[in-house]
Copies of this chain bind each other. A is one copy, B any other.
Amino acid sequence: MKIAAEALIGETIRLAMESIRQGGGPFGALVVKDDVVISTGHNTVSIDNDPTAHAEVNAIRSAAKKLDTFDLSGCVIYTSCEPCPMCLGAIYWSRIKHIYFAAGREAAANAGFDDSFIYRQIDILPQHRSVPAWQVTSPDALLPFDTWKSEVGKINY
């Protein structure tokens, strides 16, 4: 039976509320494939001392572990809040096909989270961002990619 998007979004909000009770951040997410919930996740940044442990990243990592593949093609992610750039990137890399979310990035900003700020940083030239990125010249900079391109039997991801 197909579960309605509203019911699954309600479940992500319940996960977010439970996360707060456990000392985590106010975010919940779940990954669904063929109308089956594969994994759930909540924000454990402060619980696990892991700045990458957002609800979506946790749900993706858990789904990939359960399905024993880094390729979540055909999966859908539901999340209590619009994914931040880190989580959006993780969703693209995982090949999830689409996203449903409840609150928008402005609501996250209003609660003290940097999602909206980081989105705006991305369009700034790397060296001018608040976390500047500088390219260092190296004669070997392209060596890993050149080696990769000629590698036989590599796993593309």
Dominant secondary structure of chain A at its interface with chain B: mixed
What residues of B have a CB within 8 angstroms of the CB of A32 in the complex?
Answer: none
* B-chain residues with CB within 8 Å of residue A123 when the two chains form the complex: 123
**Docked pose: A93 CA to B87 CA in angstroms:** 11
On whether the beta carbons of A49 and B20 are closer than 8 Å, the reply is no
Chain B residues, CB < 8 A from A149 = 111-112
Q: Taking CB as reference atom, which chain B residue is nearest A78? A: B136
**Residues of chain A at interface, number, CB under 8 A:** 92
- Are the C-beta atoms of B70 and A61 separated by less than 8 Å? no
Chain B hits for A108, CB < 8 A = 145
Number of copies: 2
Q: Which of B49, B57, B110 contacts A65 (CB 8 A)?
A: B49
Q: Max chain B CB contacts within 10 Å: which of A85, A87, A132, A135? A: A85
B103 touches A145 (CB 8 A): yes
Question: Do B82 and A10 have beta carbons less than 8 Å apart?
Answer: no
Answer whether residue A36 sits at the interface, using C-beta atoms and an 8 A cutoff: no
Please provide the chain A residues from 134 to 148 with a CB less than 8 Å away from any CB of chain B in the complex. 134-138, 140-145, 147-148
Q: Are B9 and A133 in contact (CB under 8 A)?
A: no
Residues of B with C-beta under 8 A to A13: 138, 140-141, 143-144
